[in-house]
Structure 1
Amino acid sequence: MKAYEKVLDQKSAGGPSRREFLQKAGVGALALSMPFPAMPVFLKDVPMGVVVHSYAARWNSKTDSKKYPPMTDAIQLMEHCASIGAGGVQTVVRGWTSDFAKKARDRREKLGLYLEGSIGLPKKAEDVADFEKEVIASKEAGVSILRTVCLGTRRYESLHSQSDFDEYTKNSLAWVRLAEPIVRKHKMKLAIENHKDWMAPELVDFVKTIGSEWVGVTVDFGNSIALMEDPMNVVETLAPYAFSTHVKDMGVMEYEKGFLLSEVPLGTGICDLKKMVDVCKKHNPNIRFNLEMITRDPLEIPCLTDEYWNVFEGVSGKYLANTLSMVKEKTSQTPLPTVAGLTAEQRLAFEEENNLSCLKYSASNLNIR
């Protein structure tokens, strides 16, 4: 990872330590420095929320379904999630007007839900004004945490060399540095997800390079398996910097180029969810737990190919050995979920079944209720 570290060499002298980050952005400072909405968000035992991607099939669906009608905005998503017992939602904030934000705030307050946003980063100076409009609208709706990603795709699919990754790192730093003054100005937390792009230590270094109490992490429980990282190690590494979460369980199986990776209903996969939740609570007792159960075909992780390794310069082969050993030991004894061959209505039903199953498991087994 030496080339990556060279890109981030500005950080080491001035970036905050983990202790300094926690002192600035931890629970105590959080309560003192942020005008959180007056709602039951930070009470104990808030039920698990739902990420909009858990409804990938139903969100803006073109299927004419009476049982699973399309959801097209945050208000509809909140209404449905409240009806199935969720504690809140995390959803996209793009295009929100002030009028819609006020309606969303009123509906959220009546439903008693929390609301987190998902926002894109400004890529150039001309984008900052629009980014700020989205931040303002989000805050007006009652959002205090904005999840974001630096790479919307996957590292091993979109980047093809270590120099590509170094350029991506340089660009990401520029994008977040455009966003940081805005979220700081409006006292909003910006939480960068480990989105099959950053390995956990890289993301910690990245956040420390930014050096802002307003920039932290959305810790995804399962994504980084695709980068050959142990999911428990990922949570333990990122939790001290986490403002938000994506909770998921994962199933794995071997295939000729590496392994298959799939979101599975909570409690049926390889993740130690109870311990992961406890680790997150330890570092931030008020963190929200957002379900991201994406109902789709398994992802192919081609970790036995040269193309995959081209963007992992300096990463020890022990990551590959440990991952393949884990896959062999914990390979799913039943077929991984798939939507291939399902009708549109069947896919909608399968998606809802998975989400309901996860919320039930969360309340019964994770003490999130």
Structure 2
Amino acid sequence: MAKKMKLGLHTYTLHLWGLGQNWGIVAEPRPKAMNLIQLMDKAVEWGLDGLHITGCDLETKDDGRLAQVKAAAQTRNLYLEYNFSRDEAFDPRLTDPIADGIRIAQKLGADLAKISLDIRRPRPLYGSCFHPTVMAQLCTVYDEVKAALPLVERTGIRLALENHTETFADEILWLIAQIDHPLVGACVDTVNSMAVLENPEAAVNKLAPYAFCNHFCDHKLDRDQFGIRFHGVALGDGDIDCLKVYKTICKVSPTDRITFEIEWDMGADSLEVAREKEMDACIRSIAYARDVLGIGR
């Protein structure tokens, strides 16, 4: 019998609405056109099962706010996953020491905390897997996660190490093998490997068996006379074989959740127009997940 999957939303899908993360914006963050509680209501309206949230969505990380978010999610029967970074370059609201990220996840009622490793790679990016400069950083991550394992065990929070935009799949697998703990696994992002010129399908095949969670994305590769550009689109509109990737995750991953994410680029549009296009892509992605992938059917 095929595994029955739940469908969740990574809040970055609506980043132009002020949710998820202000990727690439170091100055003043975008104003929020929608807050986390309003998004929860949308999630219920759309028939979603949960949300993958960040410190940007929380706005503050004090105990009162975390309790409020936990209660709001429980009232709406939504699961939560907490997404944080070790050293986010563009949006420091996402940065937490590992122990703090675990505690925040616990207080939110989340069962999982996803970590971006924020490795700073040497150039050229291609062919730099396990470069000495990278290995020194991976060893630091190893030390930090090992130090947090007693807290992981006390809370039962699973840690998912992501193949973020600066990490090869084999580096994540190396860390998981060295840490060697049942509560430490992967987050497989279906497009991030392109940022280090790694085949995205190959990365999914490697990481999915260890992946407690996922960022299920589609990107489109455009070519012009100046080169190529890989940018986010609604599920099914890009060059990722979403159905094939979905079947792989269903078959070999220990998760029963698909967390979709859209990395919409506003391009030359005004913020107002781009927001509406991003929202449309979100709604179309939910329909694709239901009608094509069969999630929740």
TM-score norm. by structure 1 comes to 0.66
**How big is each residue's C-alpha offset from its partner over 1:128-160, in whole Å with a ceiling of 9 and x where there is no partner?**
x9654542342232200111110177775899x
Residues 4, 256 of structure 2: 8 Å contact kept: no
Shift of 1:256: 6.7
Separation (CA, whole Å) in 1 of partners of 2:285 and 2:176: 31
User: When you count strand as a share of all residues, which structure comes out higher?
Assistant: 2
Residue of structure 2 in register with 1:85 after alignment = 47
- What is the CA–CA distance in structure 2 between the aligned matches of 1:206 and 1:258, rounded to whole Å? 34
Q: 2:71 corresponds to which letter in structure 1?
A: D
For residue 360 of structure 1, the aligned residue among 282, 287, 291 is 287
The superposition leaves residues 9-42 of structure 1 with CA deviations (integer Å, 9 ceiling, x where unpaired) of: xxxxxxxxxxxxxxxxxxxxxxxxxxxxxxxxxx
2:67 alignment counterpart: 102
Shift of 1:98: 2.6
What is the CA–CA distance in structure 1 between the aligned matches of 2:256 and 2:121, rounded to whole Å? 26
Partner of residue 49, structure 1? 8
Aligned to 1:138: 105
Task: Give 1:192-341 correspondences, 5 Å limit.
Answer: 192-254=161-223, 259-284=228-253, 286-296=255-265, 339-341=266-268
* Structure possessing the higher radius of gyration over alpha carbons: 1
Q: Conserved in 2, the CA contact under 8 Å of 1:91 and 1:116?
A: yes
Give the CA deviation at 1:192: 0.8
Q: 1:341 is paired with a residue of what secondary structure?
A: coil
Matched, 1:70 2:33: yes
Q: Distance in 2 between matches of 1:284 and 1:59?
A: 31
Q: CA 1:186 to 1:157, structure 2 compared with 1: closer, same or farther past 3 Å? A: farther
Partner Cα distance (2:107, 2:15) in 1: 26
Structure 1 counterpart of 2:93: none
Deviation at 1:274, TM superposition (A): 1.6
Higher relative contact order (CA 8 A, sep 6+): 1
CA displacement 1:65-117 (0-9 Å, x = unmatched): xxxx6234x43332232223322110114743332232222221221211111
RMSD: 3.0
Amino acid at match of 2:166: D
- The question of whether the paired residues in 2 share the 8 Å contact of 1:44 and 1:286 is answered with no
What residue ranges of structure 2 are gaps of 5+ in the alignment?
20-28, 89-95
Percent of aligned pairs with the same amino acid: 23
CA distance in 2, matches of 1:83, 1:246: 21
Instruction: Determine if contact 1:155/1:197 at 8 Å carries over to the other structure.
Output: no
- Helix, strand or coil: the match of 1:261? strand
Instruction: Check conservation: 2:86, 2:98, Cα contact below 8 A.
Output: yes
Q: Give the structure 2 partner of residue 118 of structure 1.
A: 83
* 1:285 CA drift (Å): 5.8
2:17 to 58, 65, 81: 58
User: What is the distance in 2 between the residues matched to 1:242 and 1:168?
Assistant: 22
Question: Structure 2: which amino acid aligns with 1:213?
Answer: P
* Aligned partner (choices 188, 195, 209) of residue 157 of structure 2: 188
Q: Give the conservation status (yes or no) of the 8 Å contact 1:121–1:179.
A: no
Paired amino acid for 1:78: M
Check whether the contact 2:119–2:167 (CA below 8 A) recurs between aligned residues: no
Q: Is the 8 A contact 2:112 2:157 kept in 1?
A: yes
Give the stretch that moved more between structures: 54-63 or 184-193.
54-63
Are 1:174 and 2:143 matched, yes or no? yes
- Between 104-113 and 359-368, report the one with greater CA deviation: 104-113
Provide Cα deviations, 1:167-197, integer angstroms capped at 9, x if missing partner: 3223322333333332222111010111122
Contact 1:89 1:116 in 2 (8 A): yes
How many residue pairs get matched?
273
Q: Secondary structure at the match of 1:289?
A: strand
1:345 is the counterpart of 2:272: yes
Gaps in structure 1 of 5+ consecutive residues: 1-42, 64-68, 124-128, 297-338
